[in-house]
């Protein structure tokens, strides 16, 4: 099953980035999570249909209205687990 791990940096914490990522990912039928990291970035692991993953990646490139995405790194070869459903991890 296709999956990726993304690290999103910029003004991405405290702007509903994780919540809106979860909403988008669930609409797309993806599994995985969004998680704030201590360095101020957001980590997103997603798994599912390649086309749906590409749509999520596009969303991550700009994020919700209040976000200011400065950089997006995506590892399409990520081999970790995504889990069932899409959720916020703490």
Domain membership flag for residue 82: no
Give the mean model confidence (pLDDT) for residues 81-88. 96
* Mean pLDDT, the chain, whole residue set: 97
pLDDT at residue 19, rounded to an integer: 98
Give the mean model confidence (pLDDT) for residues 7-12. 98
Domain membership flag for residue 83: no
Q: Domain count of the chain?
A: 1
Residue 40's pLDDT band (cuts 50, 70, 90): very high
Active site (catalytic) residues: 18, 36
- Tell me the CATH number at 18: 3.30.70.100
Residue-by-residue DSSP string for 4-69:
EEEEEEEE-SSSSHHHHHHHHHHHTT-EEEEEE-TTS-EEEEEES-HHHHHHHHHHHTT-STT-EE
Q: Is the pTM of this model over 0.85?
A: yes
Domain membership flag for residue 62: yes
Range of the domain at 11: 3-77
Domain membership flag for residue 23: yes
Residue 53's pLDDT band (cuts 50, 70, 90): very high
In angstroms, the CA 80 to CA 21 distance is 19
């Amino acid at each position: 099953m296709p999956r990726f791990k993304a690290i999103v940096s910029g003004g991405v914490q405290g702007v509903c980035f994780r919540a809106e990522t979860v909403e988008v990912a669930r609409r797309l039928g993806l599994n995985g999570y969004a998680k704030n990291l201590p360095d101020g970035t957001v980590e997103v692991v997603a798994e599912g249909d390649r086309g749906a993953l590409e749509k999520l990646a596009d969303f991550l490139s700009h994020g919700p209205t209040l976000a200011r995405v400065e950089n997006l790194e995506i590892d399409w070869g990520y081999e970790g687990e995504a889990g069932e459903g899409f959720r916020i991890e703490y």
